[in-house]
Amino acid sequence: MFSEVHFHWGKKTGEGSESLVDGCSYSAEMHAVFWKKEYGSKKEALKYRDGLALVAYFLEVKDENPALQRLLDKIEDVIVPNNPVQISPFMLEKLTPPFRRKYVTYEGSMSIPPCLQVVTWFVRLKPLHISLEQLKQFRLLEYEDGKPITMNFRPTQPLHGRIVSYKD
């Protein structure tokens, strides 16, 4: 079951993705989070090793991404945390295009606390585009203390014996 989409970005272009490809980082990364329906809720799914599936998309600074703009048009309304915002419904596929090839998958952890080891990751290797102006809009967001959120990504973690499978 779909749970959420969230983003990670850095202070400067070329940093911000939580995954690396051949040692290289992208300027942002988008995560679509899903929980296993048989567990009944996301909260319950967090108790199981196979509870979540997380689909990661790299965002490369190039052209404007019209699908992202729908969310970014509301960013000024959420600059301060915990401010509810209404966004017109739209097809998730517009934001997170499906893929069947050129991705990696592995068993791992959530990248945000409590970093539970309950995630099957699917990382699309072909990046989506984002314009520099769109990326700058994410950097307008603030923590509750009013400081800008400029680096909300977790450093790459060691594999700890995990097997990363490439799907061509």
- For the chain, what percent of residues have pLDDT higher than 70? 99
Q: Which residues are within 8 A (CB) of 33 and not within 5 positions of it... i.e. 6 or more apart?
A: 2, 3, 4, 5, 6, 52, 53, 54
Residue 158 burial by Cβ neighbours in a 10 Å radius (0-12, 13-18, 19+):
exposed
Pairing of strands 52-61, 119-130: parallel
Comparing 11-15, 45-49, 122-126, which segment has the lowest mean pLDDT?
Answer: 11-15
Whether pLDDT at 84 is above 90: no
CATH homologous superfamily of 2-167: Alpha carbonic anhydrase (3.10.200.10)
Token pair, residue 122, equals 């699917």
Q: What is the mean pLDDT of the chain?
A: 92
pLDDT digits (tens, 9 = 90+) for 97-132: 999 999 999 999 998 888 999 999 999 999 999 999
pLDDT of residue 80: 67
